[in-house]
Amino acid sequence: MTLASATAPLRIGPYRVDPPVVLAPMAGITNVAFRKLCREYGSRDSIYVCEMITARAVVERNEKTLRMMAFDEGEHPRSMQLYGVDPATMAEAVRIIVGEGWADHIDTNWGCPVAKVTRKGGGAALPYKRRLFGEIISAAVKAAEPAGVPVTAKFRVGIDEDHITHLDAGRIAEDMGAAAVALHGRTAAQRYSGTADWDQIARLKETVRGIPVLGNGDIFSSEDALRMMAHTGCDGVVVGRGCLGRPWLFRELHAALRGEPVPEPPRLGEICRIVYRHACLLAEEMGEQRALRDLRKHMSWYFMGFPVGSELRRRLGVVSTLDELDGLLGELDPTVPFPADAEGPRGRQGSPGKVVLPEGWLDDPEDVSIPEGAELDHSGG
């Protein structure tokens, strides 16, 4: 691989992000343990975002949500993603967060395509309502400003091909005081299927000129990050599914974006050590029993493409103690090199589908009314 020149760091509010890499929030994935693991491989000056938090749950101080808002002692800036549909609720949640000193950076979520979110007008559905979107961003920015906490916005290309919103969303977010924007190059209808349209990231970069624009979608290697930045001119990258079972991707991104040689991918022995380290970090966070249950979903990602064997894969998928995990990992050959089959897409992909929206949602993009019941869910994200 030819060495690229070093990529310039970016600034999000007072924070220098170097190299310009952000770990995307992923439900059930980006907890304290996984973020710490990624930071251990990547730059401590990149940004690692926690799981999405519901604004209403913060206001109601929901116990489950408060547990999800935990950060490691050495984690800085502490980056939290917030979801909401009501400007007043979002503002109050931000006031609580900055007043309690719980986060240093707040990202707002406008990209979630999940039906339980979009049917209430949230996530990827909301930028279609231009005025309401602007009011929510403005409310969050004003609430965070006294504490010097930057607010950013992450969104998709649109609801579907007939309802494209990203250029308006970028302009509005910039006008309302957002410190940066990030675009996932898919519509909500695409979910995670097909390929991300990096041309749309380039269009957003041409439209939003005063704040950083980050690109998201189909970054599964350091080469992908370099190609995206060269193709779109974006200021940084947001990595989601590409690091599933692959926290060392941040080591490779760090090197590539600094213009340094990219390290060879790990052999199976190092991956086994990473899996065990992940398990120990989870156990510190949630206790051994819950930790091993949580780890099970990561197993297929960690060992993707490796000659593990169906029986051992099955046993790893039901592992219940650290000792048992240690024994199972000891059965693997540590000298096996990283397989070519493990490169490329990983994580959920699924099929495109119709986006579930509130009744009449598409009738008037200037309507600022909030769907009935939209703020009742306080599940904690």
Q: Which of 50, 112, 234, 272 is catalytic?
A: 112
Distance CA 290, CA 285 (A): 9
Residue closest to 293 by CA, chosen among 319, 328, 312: 319
Strand ranges (E), 210-359: 213-216, 236-239
DSSP state of 20: -
User: Residue 377 — φ and ψ, nearest 5°?
Assistant: -75, 120
Tell me whether the omega of the peptide bond preceding residue 77 falls within 30 degrees of 0, making it cis: yes
Q: Which residue has the tokens 């919103």?
A: 165
| Residue showing tokens 């279609």 | 128
Active site residue 112: yes
Of 121, 172, 175, give the one whose Cα is nearest residue 364: 121
In the chain, the amino acid numbered 309 is: G
User: What are the backbone dihedrals phi and psi of residue 155, each rounded to the nearest 5 degrees, phi first?
Assistant: -145, 175
- Name the residues annotated as catalytic: 112
